[in-house]
Chain A
Amino acid sequence: MRRAQRGRQMSARRRLSLGERLVIAAPYLWIGAFFLAPMLLIAKISVSQSVLARPPYRPIFEPSDGLAAIWAKAQTFSFDAYRALMSDTLYLESYLSSLTIAAVSTLITLIIAYPFALAMARAPERLRPMLIGLAAAPFWTSFLIRVYAWIALLKDEGLINNALLALGLISAPLQMFATTGAVVIGIVYSYLPFMLLPLYAALERQDPSLREAAADLGASPAHVFLRVTLPLSREGVVAGALLVFIPAVGEFVIPDLLGGSETLMIGRTLWNDFFSNHDWPAASAAAIALVAVLMIPLLLWERARLADEDDAR
Chain B
Amino acid sequence: MSAVVSWARRATLFMGFLFLYAPIAILAVMSFNASRLVSVWGGFSTKWYAALLENEQLLHSAKISLAAALISATIATLLGLLAAISLARFGRFRTRMLFFGAVHAPLVLPEVVLGLALLTCFVAFGVGRGFITLVIGHVTLTMCFTTVAILAALRDSDPALEEAAMDLGATPFGAFVRVALPQIAPAIVTAYLLAFTLSLDDLVIASFATGPGATTLPMRIYSQVRLGVSPQINAISTLLLALVAVALGLAALVSSRRARRDGQVMTSRARAPDNAS
Contacts and interface: CB of A to CB of B under 8 A. Distances in A.
Interface of A: 1-5, 7-8, 10-16, 19-20, 23-24, 26-28, 30-32, 34-39, 41-42, 45, 55, 112, 115-116, 118-120, 122-123, 125, 128-146, 148-153, 155, 157-159, 162, 189, 192-194, 197-198, 201, 204, 221, 243, 246, 249-253, 256-257, 266-267, 270-271, 274, 280, 283-284, 287, 290-291, 294-295, 298-299, 302-303, 306
Interface of B: 5, 9-10, 12-13, 16-17, 19-21, 23-24, 26-27, 30, 37-39, 78-80, 82-83, 85-86, 89-94, 96-114, 116-121, 123-124, 136-137, 139-140, 143, 147, 159, 162-163, 166, 172-173, 175-176, 193, 197, 200-201, 203-204, 218, 221-222, 225-226, 228-229, 233, 237, 240-241, 244-245, 247-248, 252, 256, 265-266, 269-270, 273-274, 276-277
Given A2-B172, A10-B92, A19-B172, A42 B120 contact: yes
A94 B222 CA distance: 23
A256 B204 CA distance: 11
B38 A155 contact: yes
Contact of B24 (A8, A30, A39, A138): A138
A94 to B, nearest CB: 11
24 contacts: A1-B159, A4-B89, A5-B163, A27-B80, A31-B103, A38-B121, A41-B117, A42-B116, A55-B120, A139-B277, A140-B197, A148-B27, A148-B225, A149-B237, A152-B30, A152-B38, A189-B19, A249-B110, A250-B111, A252-B111, A267-B112, A274-B116, A302-B97, A303-B97
B109 A290 contact: yes
A271 B9 contact: no
A144 B206 CA distance: 13
A123 B13 contact: yes
B274 A15 contact: no
Contact of B99 (A24, A45, A243): A24
A140 to B, nearest CB: 5
A303 to B, nearest CB: 8
A159 to B, nearest CB: 6
Contacts of B20: 134-135, 138, 189, 192-193
A126 B255 CA distance: 14
Given A140-B197, A157-B38, A192-B20, A291 B113 contact: yes
B112 A270 contact: yes
A25 to B, nearest CB: 8
B109 A294 contact: yes
Contact of B240 (A142, A159, A193, A198): A142
Contacts, number: 309
A128 B270 contact: yes
A256 B222 CA distance: 10
Given A1-B175, A16-B90, A266-B110, A299 B116 contact: no
Contacts of A27: 79-80, 82-83, 86, 99, 103, 143, 147
Contacts of A28: 86, 99
A133 B274 CA distance: 12
A189 B117 CA distance: 29
A155 B229 contact: yes
Nearest to B147: A27
Nearest to A22: B82
Contacts of A143: 201
Shortest 5 CB-CB contacts between residues of A and residues of B: A250-B110, A7-B91, A38-B117, A116-B16, A27-B83
Given A10-B91, A120-B13, A144-B201, A287 B113 contact: yes
B248 A133 contact: yes
Given A31-B102, A149-B237, A159-B26, 5 more contacts: A31-B99, A31-B143, A36-B102, A157-B37, A284-B116
A284 B112 contact: no
A213 to B, nearest CB: 17
B269 A129 contact: yes
A145 B39 CA distance: 19
A190 B256 CA distance: 27
B187 to A, nearest CB: 16
A24 B81 CA distance: 10
Contacts of B17: 134-135
B229 A14 contact: no
A141 B39 contact: no
A146 B27 CA distance: 9
B112 A250 contact: yes
Contacts of B124: 41, 55
A252 B244 contact: no
Contacts of B245: 137
A295 B105 contact: yes
